């Protein structure tokens, strides 16, 4: 028998193999060692499946370098969560009207009644109506929506104080600000509301995810990890060049939490608090785009082997689900309706170009997507949509099909828009030529539209 070339495996063959391995996994006669071997094989097959999306003839070298730049360049610590509360599905959700019951402005209340709607909710309008407090407004609405304040006996005053200080700790960057945190939190809320997997989450898991989305960029300096390394910043030294911004966000969040007036988790049993802390830290660190490919691969492999019923997943693998859902929420803005997505594009490019100007002033190489003289925004958007956002939401369909369907519809519309802009300008539509020479270097911090 000829040796198998992994690159020659078709997607149908891979799918058949995965299905057979899943049946083997369910056999009670399979030993622990055999289960481990099955897991290794499934991860390899999933990697083959993912590679087929990035190795077609139409993908030029700069685009391939762009995608490979998202490989995880550091070994992550394995933070295994312990302890779970009652399942969210054991008690009913609050009604939609309860979401806005503590909001006195009728216009803001009407907008917040659309909190669960991926397409019609407008976070920019909420920011204006809430007088610059979109994050607190969205977070408190979600906590009430799922009765987490009552079910986990979170003290209202301390909870509100914590999230207010978190919001105040966000800097006034064009993109990485409290508005982005609120948008990510609302995107996660849509997954909670529209897809059945929420009933398989515990109260502590939902709380951890909401906290993580709200704090995941707190204190962001408006520059990438690579910039902090190249400028030999104090914070890069502190975190040994390892997920610098993400480590800082997590640390700052828990420094704010431990203030007596903010510590809404002080009453939790030690084991439950440790679970929330480990889960939040792991989720926030997973928002480092250097780990994007690894996170998508792990989620896809696990869901193909274990199925979408999270009750069959181990605590460690459930943690991957939480991180992946938040990651999808973090890159959701180009998967929203076009009139919203374009505003986020303008904001992120403004922030990137500002970094490029700083690099040029310091005599440093200008980072990918940060050179206002070279970057072709439509092309970079199309590549980001095709090779980062779309594959993530295709994978999310296994777990949250309704949310993924809406997102994928908007992604196709956005691609059509950016393609028309490119054609109107007379540019070529070949993938990601806009990233130019800098992406061919394979730098890990090539960021675009919500990636950080």
Q: Which residues are annotated as a binding site for AMP?
A: 176-180, 217, 330, 381
Output the CA torsion 347→432→58→403 (10° steps). Answer: -10
Q: What is each CA distance from 252 to 215, 248, 257, 280, in whole angstroms?
A: 9, 6, 9, 12
Q: What is each CA distance from 218 to 50, 209, 213, 226, 261, in whole angstroms?
A: 32, 15, 10, 18, 19
Binding residues are 176-180, 216-217, 330, 381
Binding residues for Zn(2+) are 180, 216-217, 330
Closest CA relative to residue 174, chosen from 359, 384, 418, 345: 345
Clarify whether 176 is annotated catalytic. yes
CA-to-CA distance for 370 and 366, rounded, in angstroms? Answer: 6
Closest CA relative to residue 180, chosen from 127, 113, 114: 127
Other residues' Cβ atoms within 10 Å of the Cβ of residue 409 = 14
Output the CA torsion 401→276→292→231 (10° steps). Answer: 150
At residue 396's C-alpha, the angle toward residues 412 and 251, to 5°, is 110
CA-to-CA distance for 368 and 452, rounded, in angstroms? Answer: 13
Residue tagged active-site, from 84, 96, 176, 409: 176
Q: Which residue numbers are catalytic?
A: 176
């Amino acid at each position: 028998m000829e040796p198998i070339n992994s690159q020659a495996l078709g997607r149908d063959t891979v799918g058949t193999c995965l299905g057979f391995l899943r049946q083997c996994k369910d056999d009670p006669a399979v030993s622990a060692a055999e289960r481990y071997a099955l897991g290794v094989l499934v991860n390899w097959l999933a990697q083959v499946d993912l590679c087929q999306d990035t190795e077609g003839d139409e993908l030029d070298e700069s685009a391939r370098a762009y995608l490979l730049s998202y490989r995880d360049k550091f070994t992550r610590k394995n933070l295994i969560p312990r302890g779970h509360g009652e399942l969210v599905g054991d008690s009913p959700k609050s009604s939609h009207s309860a979401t806005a019951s503590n909001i006195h402005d009728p216009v803001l209340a009407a907008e917040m009644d659309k909190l669960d709607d991926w397409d019609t909710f407008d976070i920019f309008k909420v920011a204006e109506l809430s007088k610059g407090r979109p994050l607190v407004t969205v977070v408190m609405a979600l906590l009430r929506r799922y009765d987490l304040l009552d079910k986990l006996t979170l003290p209202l005053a301390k909870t509100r104080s914590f999230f207010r200080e978190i919001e105040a700790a966000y800097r006034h960057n064009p993109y990485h600000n409290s508005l982005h945190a609120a948008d990510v939190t609302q995107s996660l809320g849509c997954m909670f509301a529209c897809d059945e997997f929420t009933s398989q989450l515990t109260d502590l898991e939902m709380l951890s995810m909401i906290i993580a989305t709200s704090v995941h960029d707190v204190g962001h300096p408006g520059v990438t990890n690579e910039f902090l390394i190249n400028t030999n910043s104090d914070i890069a030294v502190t975190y040994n060049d390892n997920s610098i911004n993400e480590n800082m966000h997590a640390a700052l969040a828990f420094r704010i939490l431990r203030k007596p007036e903010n510590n809404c988790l002080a009453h939790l049993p030690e084991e439950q608090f440790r679970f929330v802390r480990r889960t939040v830290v792991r989720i926030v660190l997973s928002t480092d785009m250097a780990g994007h490919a690894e996170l998508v691969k792990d989620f896809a492999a696990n869901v193909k082997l274990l199925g979408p019923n999270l009750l069959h997943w181990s605590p460690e693998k459930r943690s991957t689900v939480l991180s992946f859902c938040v990651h999808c929420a973090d890159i959701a803005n180009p998967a929203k309706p076009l009139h919203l997505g374009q505003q986020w594009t303008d904001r992120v490019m403004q922030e990137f170009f500002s970094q490029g100007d700083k690099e040029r002033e310091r005599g440093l190489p200008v980072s990918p997507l940060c050179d206002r003289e070279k970057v072709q925004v439509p092309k970079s958007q199309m590549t980001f949509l095709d090779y980062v956002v779309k594959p993530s939401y295709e994978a999310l369909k296994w777990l949250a099909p309704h949310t993924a369907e809406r997102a994928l519809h908007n992604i196709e519309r956005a691609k059509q828009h950016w393609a028309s802009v490119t054609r109107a300008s007379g540019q070529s539509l070949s993938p990601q030529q806009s990233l130019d020479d800098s992406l061919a270097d394979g730098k890990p911090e090539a960021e675009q539209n919500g990636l950080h």
